[in-house]
A and B are shown apart, each in its own frame.
Chain A
Amino acid sequence: MINIQYARANDVTDAVRQIAADPAAKFIAGGTNLVDLMKEDVERPSRLIDISRLPLKTVEETKDGGVRIGALVPNSDLAWHPLIEQRYPLLSSAILAGASAQLRNMASTGGNLLQRTRCYYFYDTATPCNKREPGSGCSAIKGVNRMHAILGTSETCIATHPSDMCVALAAIDAKVHVTGPPGERTIAFADFHRVPGNTPEIDSNLHPNEIITAIELPPRGFAANYSYLKIRDRLSYAFALVSVAAALELEGDRIKDARLALGGVAHKPWRDPAAEAAQRGQIANQATFMRAADFLLRDAKGFEHNSFKIDLARRAIVRALTQAANGTPQSQSDKKIR
C-alpha cells in the first residue's frame, strides 16, 4: 500500500479542521471501501483522519417522531436496531441485502453513502476512467458494461452507485446532516448523490472538508407494505444488477401513497416522484405497477451488455410493488422470489 500519515480526530470540529488543513487527506471510519481502494492504488490519500472514535454511534427518536442515526453506527447494528426493524423494515431489509455479515459489522452508516462505484475500469488503473482520472476517457461505454447504468448516464461515465442501504434511504426520504468549516447543513437524500454529467469524479454533493454526522429518517416508515428486492448474479454477497425499494400506503385496495427507488441502475439511487404520483388513487394491481415501471424507466438506455437490465428492472419493480401490496416483503435469507 501507499505511504500515508495517520491521525485521530478528537471531535467533529477537530475532524473538519484536520481535513481542511490537508487537501489530500481522507476520513476513515469502517474502511471497508477505502482500504480496498488504497490497496488497488485507486485512492491515494496523503493522510487518514480516523473518525471511528467520534461519538456518532447512537440511534435515537427525534421530537417529530422520526429517527436520527449517528454517522458511525455500523450497518449491522442499524439493520438490527429495534426502532429500525419495527418502524423502517425496508431500511433493515436493504442493509441486510448488502455485503456480508463481516463487512456490515465494520461499515459505517455515513461511509455507506460515500462508497465508490465497483465499475471494473474504475478499479483497474491500467485503463482510462473519467471518474478515477478526469479527462482520460470511459472504458466502460464500449467495454464490458454488464453491471453498468441504464439511467442518468453521460458520455463520460456509466458507473452505478453500489449501495443497497441508500436505495431504501432514498425511498424513505431521509436527510443527511453534515458539518463543514462554515458549520452545519442538511441535504435531502435525493440531492445527496448526483448524476455523472461532465464531472463523474464527483460522486456526491458533499463539499470537500465536510463530514457526515447523521442520517435522519422522517416519521413515516411504510412498515406495513414494503419490499426490498435485489437481483444479482449469485444469491448473496454480490452487488445488485437491479434492486427495488418499494413502499406503499394503502386504503383498502387503493394506493394512498407510493415510494419507488431503484439500485444498480444509475450513478445514484433512482427515484422519480412522478412515477409515484401516478400510482396515487389507483387500484394496487399489476396494471398500475406496470404503468409505474414504464414511467420510471421511460428514459432507460442500455449498452452492449446491459440492455437486459431494462426488462429486468421492469419486472423487478412490478414484483416488488406486488410483494409490498400483499404485505409479503422479500426475505433476505430465503431467496425464493414469490
Chain B
Amino acid sequence: MARTSTATQPPIAAPDKIPVALIVNGVKTQLNVAPWTTLLDALRDHLHLTGTKKGCDHGQCGACTVLVDGRRVNSCLTLAVMKDGAQVTTIEGLGKDGALHPLQQAFIDHDAFQCGYCTPGQICSAAGLIAEGKAKSADEIRELMSGNICRCAAYPNIVAAIQQTMAHHD
C-alpha cells in the first residue's frame, strides 16, 4: 500500500460517540461508544459482562472469544461500531434457564481448566467449532481450537470435554 502509516497529521478532533445497537445474550442493548472501542471493551467496561477475558488484546490468545451472529471471533480485534445490529453471545449467555451449557458441564466433568482464565474463550470457541461442524477427530479439534491458548496446558482435557459434548450433540 502506498499510504504511509507515519505521515505527520494535524490533530483530529475527538469524534462524537457513536450509537451501537447490539443484541447481547438475547437482550437488546444500546450503547454509545468511541469508534476505537473494541467489542471486548464494550462488553466488559460498558455492559459489565466480565466473563469475556482480556488476555493478550492482540488476537493471539483467544481468551476474548465470543460468538457474533453465531460465529466465533476475537472480540479484542473487533470494533464495536462495526457490529451494529449483530447478535453477540458471551459465556454469560450460553447456558439457558439457569442450567449450564453442555460444554460448561463437560469442562467440569473433564477438569478442563486449572486457573480458568482462558475458559470462557475456550468454551465460546468450542461452541463455534461445534456449530461449524468441521471437526470430527481429536486432531481436527486440536487444530481448530489452536486459536485458544491455555497457559495451564489443560489441552487433553479440553479436547475430551469437546468430544463429550459433540457425542451428545450428534
- Whether A208 sits at the interface, judged by CB under 8 Å, is yes
| Chain B 134-170 interface mask (CB, 8 Å, partner A; 1/0) | 1001011011111110000000000000000000000
The smallest C-beta distance from B138 to any residue of chain A, in angstroms, reads: 9
Alpha-carbon gap, A185 to B77, bound state (A):
31
| Chain B 119-136 interface mask (CB, 8 Å, partner A; 1/0) | 000000100110010100
Residues from 62 to 112 in A contacting B, C-beta threshold 8 Å: 76, 80, 99-103, 105-106
Select one of A24, A37, A52, A237 contacting B146, CB under 8 A.
A237
- The stretch among A40-48, A144-152, A284-292 that forms the contact with chain B is A40-48
- Whether B3 sits at the interface, judged by CB under 8 Å, is yes
- Whether A154 sits at the interface, judged by CB under 8 Å, is no
Alpha-carbon gap, A69 to B62, bound state (A):
28
What residue in chain A is nearest B5 (Cβ atoms)?
A43
Determine whether the beta carbon of A106 is less than 8 Å from that of B74: yes
Determine whether the beta carbon of A5 is less than 8 Å from that of B73: no
Alpha-carbon gap, A4 to B36, bound state (A):
7
Residues from 57 to 71 in B contacting A, C-beta threshold 8 Å: 57-59, 62, 65, 71
Determine whether the beta carbon of A28 is less than 8 Å from that of B129: no
The verdict on A237 contacting B77 (CB below 8 Å), with A208-B2, A208-B3 known, is no
Q: How many residues of A contact B (CB 8 A)?
A: 52
The smallest C-beta distance from A136 to any residue of chain B, in angstroms, reads: 9
The smallest C-beta distance from A13 to any residue of chain B, in angstroms, reads: 20
Which residues of chain A have C-beta atoms less than 8 A from B65's C-beta?
102
Say whether chain B's binding surface is mostly helix, strand, loop, or mixed: loop
- Whether B32 sits at the interface, judged by CB under 8 Å, is no
Determine whether the beta carbon of A102 is less than 8 Å from that of B74: yes
| Chain B 2-39 interface mask (CB, 8 Å, partner A; 1/0) | 11111101001011001000000000000000011010
Alpha-carbon gap, A23 to B9, bound state (A):
10
The verdict on A100 contacting B147 (CB below 8 Å), with A5-B12, A24-B7, A202-B1 known, is yes
The smallest C-beta distance from A77 to any residue of chain B, in angstroms, reads: 9
The smallest C-beta distance from B40 to any residue of chain A, in angstroms, reads: 11
Determine whether the beta carbon of A103 is less than 8 Å from that of B74: yes
Say whether chain A's binding surface is mostly helix, strand, loop, or mixed: loop
- Whether A201 sits at the interface, judged by CB under 8 Å, is yes
Determine whether the beta carbon of B78 is less than 8 Å from that of A31: yes
Determine whether the beta carbon of B147 is less than 8 Å from that of A207: no
- Whether A190 sits at the interface, judged by CB under 8 Å, is no
Please count the residue pairs between chain A and chain B whose beta carbons lie under 8 angstroms apart in the complex. Answer: 127
The smallest C-beta distance from B69 to any residue of chain A, in angstroms, reads: 10
- Whether B53 sits at the interface, judged by CB under 8 Å, is no
Alpha-carbon gap, A103 to B142, bound state (A):
16
- Whether A26 sits at the interface, judged by CB under 8 Å, is yes
Alpha-carbon gap, A63 to B160, bound state (A):
47
Select one of A4, A32, A39, A44 contacting B57, CB under 8 A.
A39
Alpha-carbon gap, A43 to B2, bound state (A):
13
Determine whether the beta carbon of A102 is less than 8 Å from that of B72: yes
Determine whether the beta carbon of B139 is less than 8 Å from that of A101: no
- Whether B82 sits at the interface, judged by CB under 8 Å, is yes
Which residues of chain A have C-beta atoms less than 8 A from B1's C-beta?
114, 202-204, 206, 208
The verdict on A237 contacting B147 (CB below 8 Å), with A4-B35, A102-B73, A333-B137 known, is yes
- Whether A21 sits at the interface, judged by CB under 8 Å, is no
Determine whether the beta carbon of A31 is less than 8 Å from that of B82: yes
Determine whether the beta carbon of A35 is less than 8 Å from that of B77: yes
Determine whether the beta carbon of B77 is less than 8 Å from that of A332: no
Alpha-carbon gap, A5 to B81, bound state (A):
11
Determine whether the beta carbon of A201 is less than 8 Å from that of B4: yes
Which residues of chain A have C-beta atoms less than 8 A from B18's C-beta?
6
- Whether B79 sits at the interface, judged by CB under 8 Å, is yes
Select one of B35, B139, B142 contacting A5, CB under 8 A.
B35
The smallest C-beta distance from B80 to any residue of chain A, in angstroms, reads: 10
Select one of B4, B14, B81, B132 contacting A101, CB under 8 A.
B132
- Can you give 11 A-B contacts (C-beta < 8 A)? A5-B12, A23-B3, A31-B82, A101-B144, A102-B74, A102-B125, A201-B4, A204-B1, A332-B143, A333-B137, A335-B143
Known: A4-B35, A39-B58, A106-B73. 8 other contacts (CB 8 A): A1-B36, A6-B35, A23-B3, A31-B78, A35-B78, A80-B132, A132-B5, A333-B142
- Residues of B at under 8 Å CB distance from A? 1-7, 9, 12, 14-15, 18, 35-36, 38, 57-59, 62, 65, 71-74, 77-79, 81-82, 125, 128-129, 132, 134, 137, 139-140, 142-148
Closest 7 A/B residue pairs (Cβ)? A100-B147, A6-B35, A236-B146, A333-B143, A1-B36, A237-B146, A333-B140
